[in-house]
Amino acid sequence: MSSTNVCTMYRLDTSEEAETQQQQEEQEMSPPCLNPEPQEILQTVKNVLEQCKSCRGCPEEPGSPGIHRASSGASLPDTEEPSFCLDTGDDGADPEALGSQLLFLDSPGFQAGFQGLYDLSPPTLSGVFGGFTDEEELVRRLAEARGVAKKAGLPMALARLCFLLGRLCVRQLKLSQARVYFEEALGVLGGRFGDLVLVAAVYTSLASVHLRQKNKEKCAQVVPKALALLLGTPGHVGRSEADSSLLTLALRRAISSRSPQAEARACFLLAKHHARLKQPEEAMPFLERLLLLLPEAAGTPGTSWPMDCYLLLASIYSQRCLPHLALSCIRVASLRAQGSPGSTLRSAALVLQNSPRLPLLPAQLAHYLRQALATLASGSGQALHGLVYASLAQLYSQHGWQGRAIAFMAQAVETDARLGGCTVVDRLVALAWLHVLHRQSPAALGILESLLEAAVATPDQEGLITNMMAIALKRTGRTRRAAESYYCALRVARRLSHPQNEAVVLANFGALCLQAGASGLAQHYLLEAVKLFSQLPSREGSPDFTRVLLRLGDLCTRRALARQAKCYYEWAFLVAVEMDHWESQLLAVQRLCHFYSAVVPNEARCVVYHEFQLSLARRVNDKVLEGQLLETISQLYLSLGTER
C-alpha cells in the first residue's frame, strides 16, 4: 500500500523537521495489548530471531490475495477443483478403460470438482479433459463414455455425461440434439436430488432450449420447475445454463407472485449474468432494485450474497467514475454481513480506488482491514495474517498513531515467525523504524543490534540496519558511533552499486555534521548527496531529493546566503512539482513562504506562494491549514492595500 518501502530503501533522517505527534493515543484508555512495553517487544524480537536462526529455510511470503474485481459477483470463494482426465483409450467399448473417472462421475452427491464441468469454461475443458482441445473430438469421446456408463449401469455418471453432451450441442447450436440429451439426463436422474446443482442445471438448460425453440407445450411442463430450482437453489448457480430470457421470465414470475425473496434472487442472477458478459450498464438497474429489496429479502443470517451484491454495484459505480456512490455501497456491504476474507480485502481495494487522491492512505481502510483479520481468524487464511497486521501498522503510522502501529507490527512479526515466513527480518526493520518515529530510539537500537548479532540479514538488509542504527544513535546523542554506522552503510551502498541509498547516507552524514556544529562539512556532504540525486532517473527518490535541497536551503539561510538559499528552495519546489508529490510540494512552498516573508521580504511573491499553498491544503483536505492560510492571505492583501 505504500510508495516507499522501509525494508528496501535507506531512510532519510528527518529529526530536525517537525514531527506531528498525536497525543490522543496516549490519553485513550486502550487495552494493554495495544501498547506493549519496549522491553516486552525486545524479548519477543529475541525469541523470533532464535527461531529464524534455527530454521533458515523458509517458504516464500504469501502474495496479496487475488482480490477479484467485484464484477465477478461470485458468492462462493474460489477453491481449487480436483481435476481428472477422461480418456477412453483405444477401445471405447471397454468399461475398464474409463476406470476411476466414471466412478468419480457416478458420485451420488455434488463434489467440488463437478462445478468446472457444469460451467464448461474453456480453461476447465482443457484442464479436465487433458489433450482434447477440439470440441468435435471431445463430443465423440463423451458419447463413447456415455455408452460405457449406460452398459455399466452408472446412472449418475450417465446423467452427467448426457448433460455435458447437451451443453456442447447448445454451443454448436444443435438445439434438437441438445434437447434429447437433456431429456435423457432427466430420465436417468429419476427424481434424485442428491446433486441439486446438477438437477437445477439440467432443468434450466432444457427450459432454455424449449424457450429458444418456442415449444409452448414443453415450456409449460419444464419452465415452472426450472424457475423454482433457479430461484430456490442456494449458493452458486452454473454460469451459462440459464440465459437472459429464462432469467427475465423468472423475474416476471417473481414480481407477479409478489415474493420479494424470489424477486431479489432473480435480480441478483440477472446482475451476475450481465456482469459475466461484461455488461455493467445492463447489470446496474437489477442491482439497484435489489438494494431496495434487501431489507425484506436478506433476513436470513449468514447469507453472503447481499454483500456480493453491494460490492458488485460498488465496482460498477467505480467504473462509471462515481466514487461517492461506490464508497457508500462498500460501507453498507461491510455493515450487512460478515464477509469472507476475499470480500473484505476486495472492499479495501475498492476503497483505495475510489478515495480522494491524498498523500495519506484513507483512514477508513482500518475498518476493512480489521474485518479481514476477524474473518482470517476463523478461516484458513492464516498466512495472510502478517500481511494484514503490517498493512494496519503502516496505516496507523501514516496517520501519526505510532504506538498502535508498533503494536500491529509486533503482531505481524510474531505471526510471520510462527508461520516460518521469510519476511521476519523486513518486519523487524519496519518495527525498529516505528520505534524511531515514536521517539523510542533505545528500543529501536535494541531491535537493530539484535538483528546484527543474529546474522540473519542479507548484505542489502545490513546496509538498511546500519543506516537506521545511525539515525537512532544520533537521536540519543552518540555522534561518534552514529558516524561509524553511517560509514558502514555507505560502504554497503557503494559495494552494491545503489546510488540512491548512497545519496541518502551522505545526506544523513551532512545532518550529523550539522548537529555537531560543522556546517562547512555538512554543506559538503549535502552537496555530494544532491549530485547523486540529480543523476538518478526521473521519479526516483524525489521526496528525499526535495528534503535534501530544502536542508541545503535552510543551511544557506542560517549562513546568510540568501541567493543560494532561494535557488535551493525553488529547485526543491520544481522537483516536487515535476514528480507530482504533494507532501514535498507543501514542504517546499512553506519554506518559500517563510523565505519571502522573513528572510527576503517580498509581499507580492509571498502572496503567490501562499495562494499555491492554499490550493495544496485544499487538495489534501487539511482544513486547519486552510483556515490559517486564508487568514494570512487576507492580512497580506490588506498590507498591499488591496481589499476583496
Q: Using CA atoms, how far apart are residues 240 and 422, in angstroms rounded to an integer?
A: 43
Question: Which tens digits make up the pLDDT trace of 302-338?
Answer: 566 678 778 888 988 988 889 999 999 888 888 866 6
- As given in the structure block, the three cell numbers for residue 623 are 482544513
Q: What percent of the chain has pLDDT over 70?
A: 78
- As given in the structure block, the three cell numbers for residue 253 are 414470475
Q: Using CA atoms, how far apart are residues 25 and 580, in angstroms rounded to an integer?
A: 32
Between the alpha carbon of residue 593 and those of residues 269, 557, 598, the distances in Å are 59, 14, 8
Query: Once rounded to an integer, what is the mean pLDDT over residues 188-197?
Result: 84
pLDDT at 296: 56
10: number of Cβ within 10 Å: 26
Give the residue with greater pLDDT, 145 vs 596: 596
Question: Quick one: which of 422, 458, 428 has its CA closest to 443?
Answer: 428
Question: Quick one: which of 541, 458, 538, 461 has its CA closest to 499?
Answer: 541
Between the alpha carbon of residue 11 and those of residues 111, 472, 502, 503, 547, the distances in Å are 53, 11, 11, 11, 12
Instruction: Please report where in the chains the cell 471431445 appears, as a residue.
Output: 138
Question: Which tens digits make up the pLDDT trace of 214-243?
Answer: 888 888 888 898 888 888 876 655 554 567
- As given in the structure block, the three cell numbers for residue 506 are 551522505
Instruction: Please report where in the chains the cell 432443468 appears, as a residue.
Output: 203
pLDDT at 530: 94
Question: Quick one: which of 623, 620, 65 has its CA closest to 398?
Answer: 620
Tell me the HSE value of 204 on the side-chain side, using a 13 A CA sphere: 30
Say whether pLDDT at 505 is over 90.
yes
Query: Once rounded to an integer, what is the mean pLDDT over residues 133-147?
Result: 80
Q: What are the chain's domains?
A: 98-233 (1.25.40), 243-295 (no CATH)
Amino acid at 200: A
pLDDT at 42: 72
> Any alpha helices (H) in 438-498, and if so which ranges?
441-454, 459-475, 479-495
Tell me what the pLDDT averaged over the chain comes to: 80
Question: Which tens digits make up the pLDDT trace of 588-622?
Answer: 999 999 999 999 998 889 999 999 999 998 888 88
Taking each helix axis as running N to C, give the angle between helix 424-437 and helix 385-398, from 0 to 180 degrees, rounded to the nearest 10: 20
Residues near 611 by Cβ (< 8 Å), separated by ≥ 6? 633
Q: Using CA atoms, how far apart are residues 523 and 531, in angstroms rounded to an integer?
A: 12
Q: DSSP state, 82?
A: P
pLDDT at 57: 45
Q: Using CA atoms, how far apart are residues 598 and 604, in angstroms rounded to an integer?
A: 13
Residues near 282 by Cβ (< 8 Å), separated by ≥ 6? 274
Between the alpha carbon of residue 303 and those of residues 300, 311, 333, 629, the distances in Å are 6, 14, 12, 51
Residues near 339 by Cβ (< 8 Å), separated by ≥ 6? 304, 307, 333, 347, 371, 375
Q: Indicate the SS3 state at residue 362.
A: coil
Amino acid at 532: L
Question: Quick one: which of 304, 238, 235, 307 has its CA closest to 276?
Answer: 238
- CB of 117 within 8 A of CB of 241? no
Whether this prediction's pTM lies above 0.85 is answered by no
Q: Using CA atoms, how far apart are residues 27 and 39, in angstroms rounded to an integer?
A: 21
Instruction: Please report where in the chains the cell 525553488 appears, as a residue.
Output: 570
Q: Is 31 exposed, middle or buried (0-12, 13-18, 19+ CB in 10 A)?
A: exposed
Query: Once rounded to an integer, what is the mean pLDDT over residues 190-218?
Result: 87
Query: Once rounded to an integer, what is the mean pLDDT over residues 287-314?
Result: 73
Residues near 574 by Cβ (< 8 Å), separated by ≥ 6? none
- CB of 589 within 8 A of CB of 549? no
pLDDT at 91: 44
Q: Best-predicted range by mean pLDDT among 45-59, 247-261, 410-424?
A: 247-261
Question: Which tens digits make up the pLDDT trace of 31-77?
Answer: 444 556 676 777 677 677 766 666 554 434 444 333 333 333 333 33
Q: Indicate the SS3 state at residue 91.
A: coil
Residues near 462 by Cβ (< 8 Å), separated by ≥ 6? 452, 492
Maximum distance among all Cα pairs of the chain, rounded to whole angstroms: 103
Amino acid at 426: D
Question: Which tens digits make up the pLDDT trace of 163-190?
Answer: 989 988 988 889 999 899 999 988 988 8
pLDDT at 15: 72
Instruction: Please report where in the chains the cell 447448445 appears, as a residue.
Output: 170
Instruction: Please report where in the chains the cell 505527534 appears, as a residue.
Output: 21
**CA angle centred on 307, ends 301 and 309, rounded to 5°:** 125
Contacts by 536-543, CB closer than 8 A, 24 or more apart: 536/499, 536/500, 536/503, 538/578, 538/579, 539/579, 540/500, 541/500, 541/503, 541/504, 542/575, 542/576, 542/578, 542/579, 542/581, 542/584, 543/4, 543/579, 543/581, 543/583, 543/584
Question: Which tens digits make up the pLDDT trace of 365-383?
Answer: 888 898 888 887 655 566 7
Q: Using CA atoms, how far apart are residues 464 and 428, in angstroms rounded to an integer?
A: 12
Q: Indicate the SS3 state at residue 22.
A: coil
Give the residue with greater pLDDT, 359 vs 235: 359
Query: Once rounded to an integer, what is the mean pLDDT over residues 125-153?
Result: 74
